[in-house]
Structure 1
Amino acid sequence: MNIARLKNFTEIVKNNFNISATAEKLYTSQPTLSKQMKMLEEELGLALFTRKGKNLSGLTPMGEQVMELARGVVAQVEQIGQLSLGDQLATSGVLRIATTHTMARYKLPAVITEFSRRYPEVSIQLHQGAPAQLAQMAQNGDVEMAIATESMHLFDELATVPCYRWGRSVVVPHGHPLLDCQPLAMADLARYPLITYVFGFTGRSKMDKAFGRHGLSPRIVLTATDSDIIKHYVRLGMGVGVIATSAFDEGDRESLVCLNIDHLIASSVAHVCLRRHAHLRDYMYDFIHLYAPHVNREAVQLALLNQGTPAPSATLPWL
């Protein structure tokens, strides 16, 4: 079977069945790519694509199955190619990381600074997005790893390495009435307009469930994917902010007060997510270790092979 055709097949799916865009990305022509897909279907004796007129519109049920297998084959071939590059590339290359704004802004700066000191020939590319987008990037091979909380379990092709627990805090201006409510209760929060993360983003679903358990509905007046945006609108007086505790720093104390609510909402777990069976260069293992010093190389390798038992969340350090 022609591996190049399988790779081009996966690229067409990745580009939303746009033959022209895929051909441009692969530096080939649209007729050549269309001919390759026709030959692949003939070779397999299967219809892989659904069509609307002359345009591809999706995958047939059999096409979906072939796609899952093709992804694995292409990934394995890419790994063989990487292995053949030899040791000289072990300290140079590109490390693409998909993560949330909170992680990129508050946890990763120290990690990236030290990593760049150790590996000056490695270029780092940060890609931000919602957790489902981050996971999809990792599964598609668009990034080497994703660091996020939500949605990772929905992607079977991802290996997840639990790294940290993280909690939530309420942020309010100085003098706010909630400062007199100690300890805070869910009913206290329900009395005020809330500003927090977009649903499905940075643990938002656990907050909604916590309100539901108390028979309450949060009054959310504004959502954002960026912790700094949430804090900005709290300063403007629009409402009470609910953010990751790690997103509150010393510079915020002049205008805001941070109230921990770990007793109200269960903690979440930040994972490093990788494609299963991926080949990692040494500097990638080192990056993970810099991010989570308690996670060793063996734990990552076992996760890649879908072996071993992840550490219980209660034993993980706090972010």
Structure 2
Amino acid sequence: MNIDHLKYFITVVNNGFNLSEASKKLHISQPALSKYILKFEEEERVDLFYRKHGRLLGLTPSGENFFANAKGVVEAHDRMLKELREASKKVRGVIRIGIPPLILTVLFTEVMSKLILLNPLIKFEIVEAGAFELRKLLAMNELDFAVLLSPSELNPQAFLEVLLKKDDLTVFLSSTHPLAEKEMLRWSDLEKEKLALFNESFMIHHLLMGKFRALRMEPDIQILSGSWDFLLEVTKDSEMVTILPSPITKFIATDGILEKKLVSPVSWKVVLTHPLKSYTSTLEKYVKESIVEYFQKGKDIVPINGESEEEKPL
């Protein structure tokens, strides 16, 4: 028995045991298909089908088991050939990745720049949006990957997520603010402070609201914005306080803004998410492995097709 014969058997089952329909789809004669089935059953001394007056009615228990195994073998065979053919030619294609603006600036500028520059045959479509919009696009299969904060609230049976970066949310305030003298802050220190926070489209907003509720705090929120640099600037010339991911510290371009860590902080966990699929292309595997190893192991990005265009000698 070869792969084609397994496909014959699967096609018969998938067409409701109608040999006429199956033979048309397989481009072979109905007598030849019927003869193949009978010959196989005789050689293996097994009945795969229930019959009545020569017509196939359904699968026997042995047939059910054989059908399940046959599908697995054919899928593995097709996948093996597809991967082999991909490996034999230069990989090209499109990758759609969604990244929130804050994370793109703070964490992904370098890694995405390298992926783009080292792979001229690959088109990277970067979608900047908040977590809620990215989750929707991912569910609609309009993204290959999305970078989100944990908990992502995605169905774990349909999506996979890998932790890339873990840090804390910290307080940023003016160096002249009364709280600037404290080495560390408690959440109770913020209870009467005027807060400038990310708006509801950001997961950070919801993480903070959850923390406030858990502590039974009623925060005095004066400003909601989608711009992290605006939130920082607001604190510089006022007594307002903002709460942002700690890595933002290295992006503060002006003096007069301090970072203060919190006792029992809210964690900021960045994850790479993608749909669970029976087949993952070479390109998708490359992008995932490159991003994960860059963050988890500090590995540099290498081009998918070996030497990049920029590295070729003249």
Q: Which TM bucket (shorter chain)?
A: 0.5 to 0.7
After TM superposition, the score normalised by the length of structure 2 is 0.60
Q: Bigger shift: 117-126 or 105-114?
A: 117-126
Aligned length: 217
Structure 1 245/278 Cα, relative in aligned 2: closer, same or farther at 3 Å? farther
- For residues 119-158 of structure 1, the aligned pairs below 5 Å read 119-150=119-150, 152-155=152-155, 157-158=158-159
User: Cα RMSD (Å) of the superposition?
Assistant: 2.9
Structure 1 185/238 Cα, relative in aligned 2: closer, same or farther at 3 Å? closer
- For residues 226-265 of structure 1, the aligned pairs below 5 Å read 226-237=227-238, 239-261=240-262, 263-265=263-265
AA paired with 1:129?
A
Query: By how many angstroms is 1:251 displaced?
Result: 3.9
Q: Deviation per CA, 1:198-245: give whole Å up to 9, x if none.
A: 236233333223333333211111122332232232235272111111
Q: Distance in 1 between matches of 2:88 and 2:257?
A: 50
Q: Distance in 2 between matches of 1:157 and 1:147?
A: 16
Larger Rg: 2
State the partner residue of 1:281.
281
State the partner residue of 1:93.
93
AA paired with 1:232?
E
CA contact (8 A) 1:90 1:281 kept: no
CA contact (8 A) 1:150 1:200 kept: no
Q: Distance in 1 between matches of 2:243 and 2:121?
A: 39
AA paired with 1:172?
L
Structure 1: runs of 5+ lacking an equivalent = 1-75, 297-319
Q: Give the 3-state SS of the residue equivalent to 1:248 in structure 2.
A: helix
Indicate the percent of aligned positions where both proteins have the same amino acid: 12
- For residues 144-183 of structure 1, the aligned pairs below 5 Å read 144-150=144-150, 152-155=152-155, 157-183=158-184
After TM superposition, the score normalised by the length of structure 1 is 0.60
Q: Give the 3-state SS of the residue equivalent to 2:176 in structure 1.
A: coil
Query: By how many angstroms is 1:101 displaced?
Result: 0.9
Q: Give the 3-state SS of the residue equivalent to 1:292 in structure 2.
A: helix
AA paired with 2:129?
G
Structure 1 236/92 Cα, relative in aligned 2: closer, same or farther at 3 Å? farther
Structure 1 276/181 Cα, relative in aligned 2: closer, same or farther at 3 Å? same
Residue 195 in structure 1 maps to residue 196 in structure 2: yes
Structure 2: runs of 5+ lacking an equivalent = 1-74, 298-314
Structure 1 257/194 Cα, relative in aligned 2: closer, same or farther at 3 Å? same
Query: By how many angstroms is 1:87 displaced?
Result: 4.1
Q: Distance in 2 between matches of 1:158 and 1:251?
A: 35
State the partner residue of 2:185.
184
